[in-house]
Amino acid sequence: MTTLIKARRLIDGKGGSLDNGAVLVDGDRIKALGTQDELAPPEGAEIIDGGGMTVMPGLVDAHVHLVNTGEAFSARDARTATSEEMMILAVKNAFLAIKTGVTTVRDLGGKGFITVSVRDSIDKGVIPGPRVVSCAAALTTTGGQSHYKSLEADTPDEMKKAVRYLIKGGADCIKIFGSGGNATPGSNPLASQYTLEEFRSATEEAHRMGKHVAAHVHPTTAIKLALEAGVDCLEHCSWLHPGGLGVDEAVLEEISAKGTFISLGFPASWYRVPLDDIQDVMDRAGREALLEPRYESIKRMFDSGAKVVASSDAGSTATRIDEFALLLEFLVNSLEVPAQKVITSATSLAAEAIGLGDAVGSLAPGKQADILLVDGDPSTDITALQRVATVMKAGKVVAGGGQVFI
């Protein structure tokens, strides 16, 4: 089937845009794009006229947790949730993601192989949802960050074996909890959980098997170790140190030089949810003191030459998967990161970071037809991303007008 999508504005996801744009879709792929004058609809083509809207690539959220609720007590609830409950949550979250224009997610920590099954069920058309790049379960130390749902591994050999086990079970990538975090009592966000040798063992084995590695790293000590070990994607990259929070410029320069991705994994609990409503390990005063330095560090990372991906950590405290667009609004309207940069970071750059750069993330001939129509122009009003009118995935309209088509 051939479809021509027209809209007043076209954003390609790589920083380019056109007025009166059109995208020609053939089967599951994009065949051509151009202005409406250039691109005449072939005979028999279906025409989707977006009128004054914007046509753009589907959003890519490079850091989510499908098995978590994303409600205020998400972290606490996840500690006692059964696998069956997590499976149901994952199906619900997949539905919410596609409904709001998130056509691809990378899941960075479920339990067992739940998200692998969800991914496969979506691909088979059993349930609606985005494309899922799944790490299955993350690696953590015994009793470490998110140990209740992760795979505990404590030595280089255990890391290697865990990587093999996860890939055997269908994992697309490997996630390492490289430091403690705020969601797990007893873990330490200020300390690395692994040695260089341990990071390296998991990373080399994953690379040998053709899989990329993402590491959750809050403190600068863990950022440095993960970077040196050759990890592909630094999650959170919070630059914590015993005295507070601040970018280490020499390390940031090295991240840029190596081309390592930074994925913000920046949940709503850091910018949108009242501090009194947050229930996690860090106390209120401790969190409040870090807010401004964290915002400054994010601006600094976007300004540097590093490849920064705007990802949500959906599923963590008070961060719902269908509110990704609110994070993008915060980055543009509060932190003053240029809108096109934020859009690129949540489309083509995010796709590249999760290993799908050749398949999705931008409007280009040959790419999968994962396409949105949004009401407004997000390059001048980022809130347009909260008004997704039509969602196409692999050339099929899968959601629109607040409905998901099953």
Q: Site residues (CB under 5 A) for Zn ion? A: 313
Q: Are 90 and 78 in contact (CB under 8 A)?
A: no
* Amino acid (1-letter code) at residue 369: A
Strand partners, 35: 21
- Given the complex with Zn ion, which of 313 and 323 has the nearer CB atom? 313
Distance in Å, CB of 3 to Zn ion, minimum? 36
Distance in Å, CB of 307 to Zn ion, minimum? 19
Contacts of 105 (CB under 8 A, 6+ apart): 60, 61, 62, 64, 66, 97, 130, 131, 132, 133, 314, 321
From the list 340, 348, 346, 384, the residue with the least C-alpha distance to 364 is 348
- Given the complex with Zn ion, which of 226 and 399 has the nearer CB atom? 226
Radius of gyration of the chain (CA): 20
- Given the complex with Zn ion, which of 313 and 381 has the nearer CB atom? 313
- Given the complex with Zn ion, which of 18 and 314 has the nearer CB atom? 314
Q: Are 95 and 122 in contact (CB under 8 A)?
A: no
- Given the complex with Zn ion, which of 313 and 370 has the nearer CB atom? 313
Collapse the DSSP code of 206 into the 3-class scheme (helix H, G, I; strand E, B; otherwise coil) and give the result: helix
Q: Which two tokens stand for residue 288?
A: 């409040």
Contacts of 368 (CB under 8 A, 6+ apart): 28, 29, 30, 359, 360, 394, 395
Q: Which helix (H) or strand (E) holds 403?
A: strand 403-404
Distance in Å, CB of 5 to Zn ion, minimum? 34
**Closest-CB residue for Zn ion?**
313
Distance in Å, CB of 32 to Zn ion, minimum? 38
- Given the complex with Zn ion, which of 313 and 377 has the nearer CB atom? 313
Distance in Å, CB of 64 to Zn ion, minimum? 8
Distance in Å, CB of 267 to Zn ion, minimum? 8
- Given the complex with Zn ion, which of 39 and 151 has the nearer CB atom? 151
Collapse the DSSP code of 237 into the 3-class scheme (helix H, G, I; strand E, B; otherwise coil) and give the result: strand
Distance in Å, CB of 242 to Zn ion, minimum? 23
